Structure 1
């Protein structure tokens, strides 16, 4: 496993002061940092160089962060943290829908971003260890659905296959690892983002709704992921590891 000192981060932001601040701060904390001012500069760096995480601003000239996030996700699973307008929940939700792993609102404290970076990298390492530990057992069956944990592909009862982005995959994998257990919004936020849910942050609920939609479970009475009023959410179907 790589040590933290070997982790390489790409910061994409059109604000030179922010790029310089993050480069200096993150390098002091043991990371290798490359910076890019826009999408064109980003494409010259990624995917030509090995990257462990990308910090991606949303509001930039030319291609914005949403466009770049979608482009990255089409080709790579590299972790992405988006820099959003501090009070704009819509930006946060859209970023998660496109496959970002977390977000930090501007203006931000570099220490907070550092904590988010460490949390996301830790979750990715744990996920990689979990997948490698499965050996040939790479498919999880739940109800009439199945998840290929290696390729991150969800197969419907009719045999239709869809790829899952980072946020949807991580959320579904969490439910599959804890079937029959009620998970509160704080539980979900803590495992997915390394922090408790804010009382005004509805992104977890939006993610649940989107995942239910993928599972055709978004009617008035969901059967796969049910709501436990006042407590959270629960996966109600058994999970079986397919030895393949």
Structure 2
């Protein structure tokens, strides 16, 4: 029996009910909230594996809700947006969302996205040797704990990672000094996803660079090759 829990935060009653009914037929445990405020209260008492988050909510909007949830780590999030401006979708990914789906959407396409995000959230083999609870990576001044999805930086500072950031960093750690194209990285980290562009990889690389930026680390850890892709340069030790 599927024990995966999905929380839908959507103010449109028809979308809320139809989406919940469909996902229940697929074996998921589904809860719904009509607003961000109700969502916060629900999450104080309950846990979930994935949030389907409408951006155009009354009161606190989806972006604001997401920022608060992500500062606490939080579950995987797929943003549901009727916004037509691609910049809004890119902003969602830059903030750390695991994916976004534009309304109106086909329920089976959304289901494929949900399954893909959940696989990335729970599986870290990424076509590489399987990770164990003991496995960590050390490079430069960082220790990377992929199964717990965070970095321990200089001075012991802890930096949380999203599922996508974790999967990308695993691939980089396991392919040191190898030039990987955007297409390679997209295939390894989002192989089952429906994302239409390798722009996603550029966004994830940018987010990783920010989290790996530190005054004590002077070296360029992720090197960009024009029209080529990216290369992870530090010496990596696997523990």
User: What is the TM-score when the length of structure 1 is the normalising length?
Assistant: 0.81
> Does the 8 Å contact 2:124/2:131 carry over to 1?
no
Count of aligned pairs between the two proteins: 232
> Does the 8 Å contact 1:83/1:106 carry over to 2?
yes
Q: Are the structure 2 counterparts of residues 63 and 225 from structure 1 closer, same or farther at C-alpha, using a change threshold of 3 Å?
A: same
Find the partner of 2:108 among 101, 107, 111.
111
Partner of 1:142: 139
In the TM superposition, what is the alpha-carbon distance from 1:144 to its structure 2 partner?
Answer: 3.7
> Does the 8 Å contact 2:176/2:235 carry over to 1?
yes
In 2, the alpha carbon distance for the partners of 1:64 and 1:152 equals 26
> Does the 8 Å contact 2:179/2:230 carry over to 1?
yes
Partner of 2:170: 173
Q: Are the structure 2 counterparts of residues 191 and 83 from structure 1 closer, same or farther at C-alpha, using a change threshold of 3 Å?
A: farther
> Does the 8 Å contact 1:23/1:35 carry over to 2?
yes
Partner of 2:183: 186
Partner of 2:196: 198
Partner of 1:232: 229
Partner of 1:21: 18
Structure 2 unaligned spans of 5+ = none
In the TM superposition, what is the alpha-carbon distance from 1:210 to its structure 2 partner?
Answer: 2.9
In the TM superposition, what is the alpha-carbon distance from 1:197 to its structure 2 partner?
Answer: 5.1
Structure 1 unaligned spans of 5+ = none
Q: After alignment, is 180-189 or 31-40 more displaced?
A: 180-189
SS in 2 for 1:107: coil
Q: Are the structure 2 counterparts of residues 226 and 120 from structure 1 closer, same or farther at C-alpha, using a change threshold of 3 Å?
A: same
| 1:176-226 Cα deviation digits (max 9, x unpaired) | 233233333233334444336535x63321321232233339xxxx83212
